[in-house]
């Protein structure tokens, strides 16, 4: 298989290996956020060597999709036939073609962007269910792969199908964005050798989305790349936002209202706060929007420590969306070198500090590894208290709290800086007050460990001993 070009995706490749080694028919679903590399993984793994491949076309009617089907089947079979009039006829022809192929060889069929094939009243999905259950599932040499970027559709209609495909899937591959170590490997593989500080800053903007990384120019600096891609006239990513949401979600304007609101409060919002801010009705439609955004990896739903489920916090976790809302939406065309010109801007430094907290949240396994608790069951949350809500003298907030199964609570302080972080007398007092406020407000009887997560560590001085353990930027690059 063509694995040399594939960065990461070790677990997914191992699952594909098992499918190829199986002596039973395989139905594999590959899903995940748009631009995350689903098509690339399948194409590279199989060296683009498919018995048949069909890619859905966004926004086109059934007749166009069937025409594309006919063109591909005619090319593969070298047998010119008319365009089928419906999907039942199309799948019948596909069966006839596949039955002529060698039965002692694996035959791989790949339907990409499956949701785009399922037009209203097209009967595509029901026909596909019939095709699989009636014939394809009996063909022990058949490997059928379906993929799509509309994650909510793929989850409901395929991965968790309650109809004809219920319990029919043999493998589910949910592709997540790259972690930092995979981004570093990708850049090196493409002759881009940047410092880890620059890679983290890049991650704050693009996240681990392979397509976005593929647009980087190795001859330019990080700031020059960001200017060219986001702020220069005709930059490849300045108008990505509308296309991204419109192709993923019907009624995309309401989805955009939600992520816009969340972008303005990076620590997150409750559902009640979202309703107030977006003016959307607090009903099932909003529940579906939030569910779909979470499934697609655009938002994170988390809890405050010892708070009820109804107090869950919704946070924007898609880096591109957050960057677009903060810097591109109202800035495009004003300054083609905006990012290079804002290097020392205090507002940008504040943004980096907040976004670094999100980077840390997305690398909890690496943090646990550094702390030596990889095998310990943990639950991550945030915590805050207002002075009026408890016996504490002043309010306090903890951005990342790791509640461990060994009766230890790790309180994480997260700081992004250009050098070692210095704990001052005032900050030392702030930390002590925060811990005491937490103990008092939660009536905590477990051990407390204070951990500093920073770029280059804590500078040793008379106040640094309050930190019991450290995680530095390099630790976040652990596999």
Q: What is the 3-state secondary structure (H, E, C) of 396-444?
A: EEEEEEEEECCCEEEEEEEECCCCCECCCHHHHHHHHHHHHHHHHHHCC
Quote the pLDDT of residue 394. 67
Q: Give the span between the Cα atoms of 147 and 112, in whole angstroms.
A: 5
Q: What are phi and psi of 282, to 5 degrees?
A: -85, 80
- Give 40-68 pLDDT, tens digit per residue: 999 999 999 999 999 999 999 999 999 99
Task: Tokens for 267, please give them.
Answer: 């620590």
* 342 domain-assigned: yes
* 2 domain-assigned: no
Residue 393 has pLDDT above 70, yes or no: no
Do 16 and 126 lie in one domain? The reply is yes
Do 17 and 49 lie in one domain? The reply is yes
Do 73 and 212 lie in one domain? The reply is no
Do 60 and 155 lie in one domain? The reply is yes
Q: Give the span between the Cα atoms of 235 and 22, in whole angstroms.
A: 46
pTM as predicted: 0.92
Q: What is the dihedral of CA 350, 354, 355, 356, to 10 degrees?
A: 100
* DSSP annotation of 158: I
Do 200 and 226 lie in one domain? The reply is yes
Residue 333 has pLDDT above 80, yes or no: no
* 275 domain-assigned: yes
Total domain count for the chain? 4
Residue that finishes a domain, picked among 175, 190, 215: 175
Do residues 263 and 326 lie in contact, with contact meaning Cβ atoms separated by under 8 Å? Answer: yes
**Domain boundaries, position 288:** 241-327
Do residues 168 and 131 lie in contact, with contact meaning Cβ atoms separated by under 8 Å? Answer: no
* 374 domain-assigned: yes
Beta strands 171-175; 299-302: pairing state: unpaired
Q: What is the CATH number of the domain that holds 323?
A: 1.10.10.10
Q: What is the CATH number of the domain that holds 66?
A: 3.40.50.300
SS3 472: strand
Q: Residue 78 burial (CB < 10 Å; 0-12/13-18/19+)?
A: exposed
- Give 68-88 pLDDT, tens digit per residue: 999 999 999 988 889 999 999
Better-predicted residue by pLDDT, 397 or 280: 280
Q: Give the span between the Cα atoms of 217 and 223, in whole angstroms.
A: 11
Quote the pLDDT of residue 388. 60
Residue 309 has pLDDT above 80, yes or no: no
Exposure string for 32-46, b = 16+ CB within 10 A, e = fewer: bbbbbbbbbbbbbbb
* 3 domain-assigned: no
SS3 88: helix
* 4 domain-assigned: no
Over residues 286-303, mean pLDDT: 92
* 162 domain-assigned: yes
* 90 domain-assigned: yes
Q: Give the span between the Cα atoms of 292 and 248, in whole angstroms.
A: 10
Quote the pLDDT of residue 2. 45
* DSSP annotation of 6: -
Over residues 117-145, mean pLDDT: 95
Do 344 and 399 lie in one domain? The reply is no
Residue 307 has pLDDT above 80, yes or no: no
Do 87 and 64 lie in one domain? The reply is yes
Do 261 and 234 lie in one domain? The reply is no
Do 222 and 79 lie in one domain? The reply is no
Do 284 and 382 lie in one domain? The reply is no
Do 402 and 265 lie in one domain? The reply is no
User: Residue for token digits 């589910």?
Assistant: 172
Q: What is the CATH number of the domain that holds 450?
A: 3.40.1350
Q: What are phi and psi of 271, to 5 degrees?
A: -60, -40
Do 161 and 26 lie in one domain? The reply is yes
């Amino acid at each position: 298989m063509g694995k040399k070009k594939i960065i990461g995706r070790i677990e997914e490749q191992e699952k594909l290996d098992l499918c190829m080694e199986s002596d039973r028919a395989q139905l594999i679903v590959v899903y995940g956020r748009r631009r995350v590399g689903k098509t690339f993984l399948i194409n590279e793994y199989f060296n683009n060597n498919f018995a048949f491949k069909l890619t859905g076309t966004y926004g086109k009617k059934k007749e166009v999709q069937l025409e594309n089907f006919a063109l591909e089947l005619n090319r593969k079979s070298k047998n010119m036939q008319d365009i089928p009039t419906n999907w039942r006829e199309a799948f019948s022809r596909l069966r006839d073609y596949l039955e002529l192929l060698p039965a002692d060889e694996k035959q791989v069929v790949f339907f990409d962007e499956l949701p785009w094939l399922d037009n209203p009243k097209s009967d595509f999905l029901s026909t596909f269910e019939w095709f699989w259950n009636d014939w394809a599932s009996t063909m022990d040499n058949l490997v059928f792969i379906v993929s799509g970027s509309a994650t909510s559709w793929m989850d409901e209609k395929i991965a968790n199908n309650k109809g004809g495909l219920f319990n029919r899937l043999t493998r589910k591959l949910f592709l997540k964005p790259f972690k930092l170590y995979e981004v570093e490997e990708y850049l090196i593989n493409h002759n881009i050798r940047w410092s880890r500080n620059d890679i983290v800053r890049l991650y704050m903007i693009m996240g681990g989305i392979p397509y976005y990384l593929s647009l980087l120019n190795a001859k330019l600096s990080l700031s020059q790349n960001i200017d060219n891609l986001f702020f220069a006239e005709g930059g490849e990513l300045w108008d990505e936002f509308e296309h991204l949401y419109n192709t993923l979600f019907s009624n995309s304007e309401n989805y955009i209202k939600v992520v816009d609101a969340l972008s303005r409060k990076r620590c997150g919002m409750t559902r009640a706060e979202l309703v107030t801010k977006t003016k959307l009705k607090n009903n099932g439609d909003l529940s579906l929007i939030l569910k779909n955004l979470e499934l697609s990896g655009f938002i994170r739903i988390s809890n405050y420590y010892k708070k009820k489920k109804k107090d869950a916090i919704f946070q924007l976790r898609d880096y591109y969306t957050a960057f677009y809302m903060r810097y591109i939406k109202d800035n495009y065309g004003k300054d083609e070198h905006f990012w290079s010109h804002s290097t020392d801007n205090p507002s940008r430094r504040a943004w980096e500090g907040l976004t670094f907290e999100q980077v840390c949240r997305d690398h909890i396994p690496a943090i646990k590894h550094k702390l030596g608790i990889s095998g310990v069951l943990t639950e991550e949350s945030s915590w805050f208290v207002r002075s009026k809500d408890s016996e504490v003298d002043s309010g306090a907030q903890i951005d990342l709290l790791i509640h461990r199964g060994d009766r230890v609570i790790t309180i994480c302080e997260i700081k992004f800086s250009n050098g070692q972080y210095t704990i001052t007398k005032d900050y030392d007092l702030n930390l002590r007050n925060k811990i005491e406020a937490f103990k008092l407000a939660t009536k905590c009887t477990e051990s407390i460990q204070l951990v500093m997560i920073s770029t280059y560590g804590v500078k040793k001085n008379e106040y640094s001993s309050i930190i019991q353990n450290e995680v530095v930027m390099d630790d976040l690059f652990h596999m």
